[in-house]
Amino acid sequence: MGEQKRRTRLAAAADAVEASGDQLRAAALEQTLHALEPEDFQIPGIVSGEKAVTWIYQNGMVSGPGRAIYDELMSAPENERCPLCGHGTVSQLDHFMPKNSYPALCVDPLNLIPACSDCNWAKGDTRAGTPDELPLHPYIDDIDSEPWLDARVIHKAGLVRLEFFVAPPSTWDRTLAARCRNHFQLFGLRKAYALKANGHIGEIRGYLRSLLAAGGADAVQRHLLDIAASSLTHRPNSWMGVTYRSLARDMAFCQGVFGG
């Protein structure tokens, strides 16, 4: 900070900000993030939460000397893939606990999630009022060790379309399943994955026809299963892996009802 008064006030609040980070981590372990109250996460000596965010996050991190940390957080996801939706390209940092409501967490690394612009916009500054409404946190909620994404193949009017949905494992408790469904709805993943999948079907249709002519339905199904296995081994809930797995399960599709 170039301004001495701001520097002094922020330095005096350092212990309170650190305590807020500890409280965030404790709540994450106890799965009570939804219960955190904004009044407990204000910065002492700074009346407005919006002012604190401007001082610390905007001027100190986005366009200030903390930019190196900002860039490191942005580059963390593999292939710059948004961890909130699994397909968008990271372009900004999302504050899991909204920064204007929880200014003491505005530069806490656990509260900063690399995200695509669509996901950041969809989440906005909304706060969860119940455990079921809390979006999934990619650093806290390790849900990709088990498959939870599925899709059904729909044949209608000569077209083939996929419809994605959440199919929680039996090992999940009710709250985690509800949170996953809420996350799926909040970020529009049903539509986003369907657009990706249905566009991809159009791209592979010609190759599948040649496979069908050369080896029949079995050759088509083997190909679909091989691609599904390769994709899902790396990412058990990738829209592409689920797309190929679902198509392989659909005998009408394997027998040549490719649509289009």
Within-domain flag for 118: yes
Within-domain flag for 139: no
Per-residue pLDDT at 190: 97
Give the mean model confidence (pLDDT) for residues 212-232: 97
CB atoms within 10 A of CB 187: 24
Q: What are the pLDDT digits (tens) for 195-214?
A: 999 999 999 999 999 999 99
Number of domains in the chain: 2
35 and 111, same domain (yes or no): yes
9 and 119, same domain (yes or no): yes
Within-domain flag for 83: yes
79 and 156, same domain (yes or no): no
Within-domain flag for 143: no
Q: What pTM does this model have?
A: 0.89
Per-residue pLDDT at 153: 97
Give the mean model confidence (pLDDT) for residues 159-176: 95
- The whole-angstrom separation of Cα 33 and Cα 97 is 8
Per-residue pLDDT at 2: 64
Burial 121-147 (b: 16+ CB within 10 A, else e): ebbeeeebeebeebbbbbeebebbeeb
Boundaries of domain holding 172: 149-254
Q: What are the pLDDT digits (tens) for 94-115?
A: 999 999 899 999 999 999 999 9
103 and 195, same domain (yes or no): no
74 and 159, same domain (yes or no): no
163 and 190, same domain (yes or no): yes
129 and 158, same domain (yes or no): no
pLDDT class for 60, splitting at 50, 70, 90?
Answer: confident
Residue where a domain stops, chosen among 81, 106, 133: 133
Q: What are the pLDDT digits (tens) for 181-193?
A: 999 999 999 999 9
Within-domain flag for 142: no
Per-residue pLDDT at 47: 67
